[in-house]
């Protein structure tokens, strides 16, 4: 058992990603273990989404190695591997006006729509209801997709991604486009989810530090495809590191587990 817990869920070693002659990622290394919650931060165009796609088994590295759940990309069926990864795609859209409950159930078949001649077992329906409750959607269980708010849809997609019981959850800018109420609900529910699934590892991409859940354990800062800093969150998320990463003097504070950002101006001072 111990070896299973110690073995990384994700291991990225010496990864470069080149597209059209341009280096999108250079010399990236990352190790994610069970129960760790990583934030992938950086300005637009830093390579965050490309790295997340690689980790989600949607892209191959140009050089280097990516191992997900012990399987090395390039030596394994990518589609099969994806079933063990909960990839939350905020652009997912069911082809028919399914209910929230039905959308969550499609996570089992990994299809946009409910599969014909497929009916979920009682245990599957119970699990969908448990996840719907965990993500604060019980009152909206039977609401149809077009009538749901963007925040409700986002939380339904997280529940959908968790249906196959993945060991790794990938979130690509989950709070984009949400109003402050929707954002706070999302963050609160991600926090509950992390507490309810202690073995689950996650990687969340954002460029807004205010969107990080309090349960974030580790962070990686990317700038122009390179790592600025990475490791335990309190060591990485400092005013100096964030100022370097975003190329602007930034003052970072943390209150009740949440981060606040303001322009540092001359007060950063100590920065070379």
Domains (ranges, CATH) in the chain? 1-84+166-178+206-272 (3.40.50.300)
Alpha-carbon gap, residue 93 to 113, rounded angstroms: 9
Q: What average pLDDT does the structure give for the chain?
A: 89
Indicate the pLDDT class of residue 3, thresholds 50, 70 and 90. Answer: very low
pLDDT band of residue 258 (cuts 50, 70, 90) is very high
pLDDT > 60? residue 271: no
84 three-class SS: coil
Q: Determine how β-strand 85-88 pairs with β-strand 22-32.
A: unpaired
Distance CA 3, CA 111 (A): 34
**What pLDDT score does 197 carry?**
93
pLDDT of residue 5: 52
Residue 65 in contact with residue 15, Cβ under 8 Å? yes
Q: What pLDDT digit, counting tens, does each position of 222-257 carry?
A: 999 999 999 999 999 999 999 999 999 999 999 999
Q: Per the confidence metrics, is the pTM higher than 0.85?
A: yes
pLDDT by residue (tens digit) across 139-189? Answer: 999 999 999 999 999 999 999 999 999 999 999 999 988 999 999 999 999
Asked if the model's pLDDT at residue 205 lies above 90, the reply is yes
Name the token pair of 166: 């993945």
Condensed to tens digits (0 to 9), the pLDDT of residues 5-41 reads 568 999 999 999 999 999 999 999 999 999 999 999 9
pLDDT surpasses 70 at 269: no
């Amino acid at each position: 058992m111990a070896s299973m817990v110690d073995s990384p869920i994700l291991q990225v070693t010496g990864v470069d990603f080149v597209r059209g002659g341009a280096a999108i990622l250079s010399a990236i290394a990352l190790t994610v273990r069970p129960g760790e919650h990583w934030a992938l931060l950086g300005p637009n165009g830093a390579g965050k989404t490309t790295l997340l796609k690689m980790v989600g088994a949607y892209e191959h590295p140009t050089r280097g190695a990516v191992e997900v759940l012990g399987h090395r990309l390039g030596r394994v069926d990518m589609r099969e591997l994806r079933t063990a990864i909960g990839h939350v795609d905020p652009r997912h859209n069911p082809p028919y006006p399914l209910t929230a409950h039905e959308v969550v159930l499609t996570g089992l078949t990994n299809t946009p729509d409910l599969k014909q001649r497929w009916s979920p077992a009682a245990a599957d329906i119970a699990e969908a209801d448990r996840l719907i409750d965990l993500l604060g959607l019980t009152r909206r269980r039977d609401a149809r997709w077009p009538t749901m708010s963007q925040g409700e849809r986002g939380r339904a997609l997280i529940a959908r991604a968790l249906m196959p019981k993945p060991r790794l959850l990938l979130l690509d800018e989950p709070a984009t486009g949400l109003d402050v109420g929707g954002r706070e609900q999302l963050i609160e529910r991600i926090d509950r989810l992390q507490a309810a699934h202690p073995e689950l590892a996650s990687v969340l991409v954002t460029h807004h530090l205010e969107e990080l859940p309090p349960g974030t354990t580790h962070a990686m800062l990317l700038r122009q495809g390179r790592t600025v800093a990475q490791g335990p969150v309190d060591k990485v998320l400092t005013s100096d590191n964030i100022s370097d990463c975003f190329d602007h003097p930034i003052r970072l504070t943390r209150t009740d587990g949440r981060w606040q950002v303001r322009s540092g101006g001359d007060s950063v001072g100590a920065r070379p």
